Amino acid sequence: MTAWEPMAEAPGESDFEVRPYRPRDYAAVSTLFADIFKQPMSTAFHAWKYRPGKGCAVLVFKDDELVAHYGGVGADIVLRGKDSTAVQIVDVMVKPSVRQAVRKTSPFFLAVTQFGERFVGYERPWLLAYGFPNERAMRLGVHMGFYALVGRMVELVWNSAAAARAPRPWWQLDTLTRDNVASYTKTLDALWARMRRDLTQACAVIKDAAWLRWRYFEHPERDYQVTLVRNRLTGRALGLFVCRPEGERSFLLDLVAPKAHLALLIGLAAHEAQRRQLPTLVTWCSQGFLDWLPHVKATVTELPIVTPANMLTPGPAPDSLRNLWWLLPGDTDFL
């Protein structure tokens, strides 16, 4: 989530305290979050998102009042076939009273630069930074020299009846839950390993059993429909898809499968939507990987959501990351 817009006129300059997040800062962060985004951030949700070893943030104070926050959620990734790390930029917040024009004394500038220096690039905790900013926020980041544009998200909408593919008798669809997911650990790890082989020229979050368990089964405030498709005879997993109903549509958040099985999973997800009397199936994906999904029968719309790369500190050149990210809705922190 991002909330920062420049003011036409800047208030007088002041000294700011800039430092990393500490556990005792939660109350101040929660208050600022509610003020900016007009919704609460519970203790449980904050603890889930900013879990030890993965979450980080830089805070800016003015006269002991929190006025800016720039957060990150770390992830293990695969980058052109090799293990690496990245941090998703989240909860970018600046109090309206100190939103200043583009200048090096602004709380936003201080938060972003300190975050980059501490956390992103070569010889730092995370090699890459990415996120889901809107186009306005992206233009600002590019103007300030923080980000470079390396990708864009598109939305796909299918008529669930037209796209549905009924399960074959030799396919078994298992519903994964908090209670049984631990018993599928080896199966999920093997499934991710097969998908990874198709991502040798991509950049993607590692969606093994541990990540899936954290993202979909340990979330304190949302419930997801997680379906594993297996061969009934051999037990071998064909793929996994994650959905959540939203009004009259089924929102497809994630797919884990070899590339050859992604169309099958879309068809089965559409079948499940139809069975639940949801007329449409919707998902997002990185524009550079649109051809991986069966989009011929879908309505494809360019979203006002882009993919940035870090420009603040030494790291891989943005041109080397252009259209490289494989991202789906489940890669966000807010869906």
The domain spans of the chain are 2-130, 156-331
What is the C-alpha separation between 130 and 147, in angstroms, rounded? Answer: 9
Parts of the chain with a pLDDT under 50: 1-13
Please tell me the CATH code under which domain 156-331 is placed. Answer: 3.40.630.30
pTM, rounded to two decimals: 0.92
pLDDT at position 3 is 36
What is the C-alpha separation between 59 and 152, in angstroms, rounded? Answer: 29
pLDDT at position 14 is 55
pLDDT at position 201 is 95
Q: 10 Å Cβ neighbour count for 308?
A: 23
pLDDT at position 141 is 85
pLDDT by residue (tens digit) across 16-50?
999 999 999 999 999 999 999 999 999 999 999 99
pLDDT at position 8 is 31
What is the CATH architecture assignment of 2-130? 3-Layer(aba) Sandwich (3.40)
Whether 156-331 and 2-130 are alike in CATH topology: the answer is: yes
